[in-house]
Structure 1
Amino acid sequence: KEIKAKIGEDATVSVFESGTKDLYVFGDAWGRGTEILYQAMKLKMPEKVKEKALKAGYYAVSQEVIPEFAGDYMIISKNSEMDNSYQNSEIYKSIPAVKKHRVYEANAEEFYFNDPLTLEFQLSFFKKHFLGK
């Protein structure tokens, strides 16, 4: 409730992760904190994410279309061993969430799953980044 109150009822949140060749955006049940953000907190996902990733759980996107899937806030599950060069592109840097410093990076290895311990860790991460707690 606190997070929703702070960011606004209509704010959207998207969750991305880079893979070996692609960048992925996630629906509401594929780990990476999506169960907490979308199911428990009832935060909104961007329409394009809902359209492409909700049913399948995830969707591969190219660097050029990241802005279409970007929410008002972005969570990036980041693996330093993957290609994260998209973050240096002008396309990425032009995204409003990036410009407003509303991108929160998590260690992918700590964010993959949705077991009780990982969910507690993810909740703590979201409180820290959205609320400063």
Structure 2
Amino acid sequence: MHLHTLIGRFAIFTAGAAILASCSSGENNSSAGNTDSKEETRAYETEKGEVSIPSDPETIVTDYYAGELLAVEADVSGSGPDAFSNPFLEEQLSGAEDVGAPLDPEQVLELDPDLIVVMYDDNYEQLSQIAPTVHLPYNPDTNVQETLDTFGELTNNQAEAEEFKDTIETTAEKAKKRLEGTIGNDDTFGLYELTQNGDLYVFGANGGRGGQAIYNALGLNAPEKIQEEVMGGNAQEISMEVLEEYSADHMFMTTFDPEDTGESKENIQESDVWANLDAVQNEQFYFLDFDTYYPYDPISINEQIDLIADKLAE
């Protein structure tokens, strides 16, 4: 499995000629065509150049940024399927529709959005004919605070973005107090992922898997080797034979196992490498649920802070 599949989102790169025809026909049924000429707009610089977007967008469709948009209290009427498997977004997305990944222009058209925000540029031209479309490539920011700034500015909800920053800070401070006296000042913390076919990855702070909760919000330290080799990116593939070199006092591992076979997890637990890790011998090796720790939007990160603190406090 390619690293991009693991650290990014699971996008399917297809497009239909019939869809293109329906979105670019002579009969303009798009919200772009029906927009009130008096609606206030502003220029927004994107990877595709400058886009004129609503000053205060009211109905937004996105492929993978539902959590980021909801964190700044923007309205999400449609999202890609990833968001609906996120346990922290279930309630807020109860009225939203799954519009596919990549976004299905026909389904998007039915929702009549006034803004579309995409991580991937599949169907970009068709989507742009429906509503102003902003392309924000995967992982444009280096921490959750920057992410909130980005989406607060995009939606003109800067005050809401600042409020959520305060929420995360408060959650982190309370969690740190719960951890006082339970972990050593010099303890190190590492994030790892095992795939269904046995590939092994080490994650930094900005590739999901609880990285922002552990390294940013809680301010916990990675081992020196991870700091030097992984923190500058999202993740790094390693072999099982060198896992000990990247080990930490506390090790957190997700397992990407979509078929729920359990084989890769069972295999690692039966290995001598795993058994000889200090974290295993000290009962400080934690398996984490993939769906819970895969997301890296602000809402998920805020919840992950408490979950990580609870595991360490046990």
TM superposition score normalised by structure 2: 0.40
- The aligned residue for residue 117 of structure 1 is 299
| Match among 224, 227, 237 for residue 50 of structure 1 | 227
1:38 shift after superposition: 0.6
Greater RCO (CA < 8 Å, at least 6 residues apart): 1
| Alignment deviations for residues 36-59 of structure 1 (CA, whole Å, 9 cap, x no partner) | 111111111011111221112111
Using a 3 Å threshold, how does the CA distance of structure 1 residues 21 and 125 change in structure 2: closer, same or farther? same
- The aligned residue for residue 104 of structure 1 is 286
Using a 3 Å threshold, how does the CA distance of structure 1 residues 50 and 4 change in structure 2: closer, same or farther? farther
| Match among 267, 271, 290 for residue 89 of structure 1 | 271
| Alignment deviations for residues 104-132 of structure 1 (CA, whole Å, 9 cap, x no partner) | 11111221111233223322321221113
**What is the CA–CA distance in structure 1 between the aligned matches of 2:234 and 2:180, rounded to whole Å?**
23
- The aligned residue for residue 38 of structure 1 is 215
- The aligned residue for residue 11 of structure 1 is 187
Deviates more, 1:32-41 or 1:117-126: 117-126
- The aligned residue for residue 25 of structure 1 is 202
**Larger radius of gyration between Structure 1 and Structure 2:** 2
Name segments (4+ residues, structure 1) moved above 4 Å. none
Using a 3 Å threshold, how does the CA distance of structure 1 residues 14 and 4 change in structure 2: closer, same or farther? farther
Identical pairs, percent: 28
Show structure 1 runs of 5+ residues with no match. none
TM superposition score normalised by structure 1: 0.89
1:5 shift after superposition: 4.1
| Contact 1:16–1:74 (8 Å) recurs in 2 | yes
- The aligned residue for residue 128 of structure 1 is 310
| Contact 1:16–1:77 (8 Å) recurs in 2 | yes
| Contact 1:79–1:109 (8 Å) recurs in 2 | no
1:22 shift after superposition: 1.5
| Contact 2:213–2:302 (8 Å) recurs in 1 | no
| Contact 2:190–2:247 (8 Å) recurs in 1 | yes
SS at match of 2:185: coil
Q: Aligned-residue CA RMSD in angstroms?
A: 1.7
For 1:55-74, list aligned pairs within 5 A.
Answer: 55-74=232-251
Using a 3 Å threshold, how does the CA distance of structure 1 residues 112 and 70 change in structure 2: closer, same or farther? same
| Contact 1:72–1:102 (8 Å) recurs in 2 | yes
| Alignment deviations for residues 57-100 of structure 1 (CA, whole Å, 9 cap, x no partner) | 11111111111111100011123447232222101110000011
Show structure 2 runs of 5+ residues with no match. 1-175
Using a 3 Å threshold, how does the CA distance of structure 1 residues 111 and 100 change in structure 2: closer, same or farther? same
Using a 3 Å threshold, how does the CA distance of structure 1 residues 77 and 5 change in structure 2: closer, same or farther? same
**What is the CA–CA distance in structure 1 between the aligned matches of 2:180 and 2:211, rounded to whole Å?**
15
The residue identity in structure 2 corresponding to 1:24 is Y
1:4 shift after superposition: 5.8
Deviates more, 1:108-117 or 1:43-52: 108-117
SS at match of 1:6: coil
Number of residue pairs matched?
132
**What is the CA–CA distance in structure 1 between the aligned matches of 2:275 and 2:206, rounded to whole Å?**
28
